[in-house]
Amino acid sequence: MTHATYQPGPVHLLRVPTGADLLGHLEEFITERSIETAWLSYLGAVSGASLRYYDQAEKEYCDFHIHQHLEVLSGVGNVSLLDGAPFIHTHAVFGDAGGRAFGGHVNHGCEVWALEVKIEEYVGDAPIRLPDDETGLSLWSNLT
């Protein structure tokens, strides 16, 4: 296990405008403010979702799209450093009109219809993502 303890920093609440790209808008927000360590959660609705699934056997992402209006039932993510820059990793569960749920790793291309977001900053050295041979992913490596 890798572990680090942080102190709470500022908490941001934001509403993402209709038509914005979900991930792109959050990236813009954290980059403009140089936020390097944070946890985020969000809910709302999208006009469509663009998601990824990580194939553990093949060690590669499979992209897929859901072309329909969806509720964002629960979005969760974090901010850390990848290649020296703030990086958002976020997953979300989406629901359709029948209450069925879909979910995955959120990619660019989720068009926001309405979205409320909380971003909790933390004070301390940011987690740094480095390539992990076992998983093929870039994982937190400097938490001690």
Q: Which two tokens stand for residue 59?
A: 């060690």
Contact flag: residue 33 with Zn ion (CB under 5 A): no
Closer Cβ to Zn ion, 10 or 132, answer by number:
132
CA distances in angstroms from 45 to 10, 97, 143, listed in the order given:
26, 12, 34
- The reply on whether position 105 binds Zn ion by CB under 5 A is yes
Please state the closest distance from residue 17 (CB atom) to Zn ion, in A: 25
* Residue 59 and residue 101 in contact, taking contact as beta carbons nearer than 8 Å: no
Using CB under 5 A as the binding criterion, the count of chain residues that bind Zn ion stands at 1
CB of 101 to Zn ion, least distance (A): 17
Distance of alpha carbon 27 from alpha carbon 49, whole angstroms: 17
Residue 82 binds Zn ion (CB under 5 A) = no
- For 62, the token pair is 């499979």
Min separation Cβ 65 and Zn ion, Å: 16
Interface with Zn ion by CB under 5 A: which range of 27-35, 66-74, 104-112, 123-131?
104-112
Of 72, 24, 77, 70, the residue nearest 47 (C-alpha): 70
